[in-house]
């Protein structure tokens, strides 16, 4: 079961991803708060997400958009994640 609660546009998707990453950063001091997301921001190298953080991000996105962004290949940059959600 998944649903989108607000108007679904590229900018709302980016904002939603930013909020999820903020939540993850709030729970893990190793993760940098995302600030303004750039498309080439690396989730692992720039923000410091580890596999569990990535798994949480993926599950939360899947709950909202019905897309498993890691289903087919490894994604690491913000732009790659948003591209998966665009499909």
Partner 1 sequence: MTVFWTDEERGVEWTYERLVEELRSRDERRPVVYESDPLEVKLQLLLAVLSREQLTLLDAEFPTETIREIGYDPATVDETTPVSVEIETVDDLRDRLAATPDEWRLDLCTSGTTGTPEPVTQSFEGLTRSVRTGERFTDDVWAFAYNPTHFAGLQVLFQAVLNCNQMVYVFERSPSGIETDIRRHGITHVSATPTFYRLRLCRLESQCETVRRLTSGGERFEPSLRDKLSTLFPNAEFRNVYALTEAGSLLESDGETFRIPDRYTDRMRVDDDGELLIHQSLVTDETTAELNGEWFHTGDLVEFTDEDRFRFVARESDFVNVGGYRVNPHEVERRIADADGVTAATVTARESSVTGNILVAEVVPDPSTDPEAAVAAAEEAVSSLERWKQPRIVEPVEQLAESRSGKRIR
What is the binding site for partner 1 (CB under 8 A)?
Answer: 27, 51-52, 54-56, 58-60, 68, 70-71
Check if the beta carbon of residue 53 is closer than 8 Å to that of residue 60: no
Smallest gap from residue 8 Cβ to partner 1 (A): 21
Q: For the packed helices 78-86 and 10-27, what is the interaxial angle rounded to 10 degrees? A: 130
Smallest gap from residue 35 Cβ to partner 1 (A): 22
Smallest gap from residue 4 Cβ to partner 1 (A): 18
Residue 3 or 7 with smaller CB distance to partner 1: 3
Check if the beta carbon of residue 64 is closer than 8 Å to that of residue 16: yes
Residue 18 or 60 with smaller CB distance to partner 1: 60
Residue 10 or 68 with smaller CB distance to partner 1: 68
Nearest to 67 by CA among 11, 6, 13, 12: 13
**Token duo for residue 29:** 């001091």
């Amino acid at each position: 079961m998944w649903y989108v609660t607000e108007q679904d546009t590229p900018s709302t998707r980016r904002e939603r991803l930013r909020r999820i990453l903020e939540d993850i950063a709030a729970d893990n001091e190793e993760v940098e708060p995302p600030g303004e997301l750039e498309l080439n921001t690396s989730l692992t190298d720039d923000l410091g997400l580890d596999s569990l953080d990535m798994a949480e991000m993926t599950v939360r996105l899947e709950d909202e958009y019905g897309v498993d962004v890691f289903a087919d290949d490894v994604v690491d940059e913000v732009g790659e994640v948003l591209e998966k959600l665009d499909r």
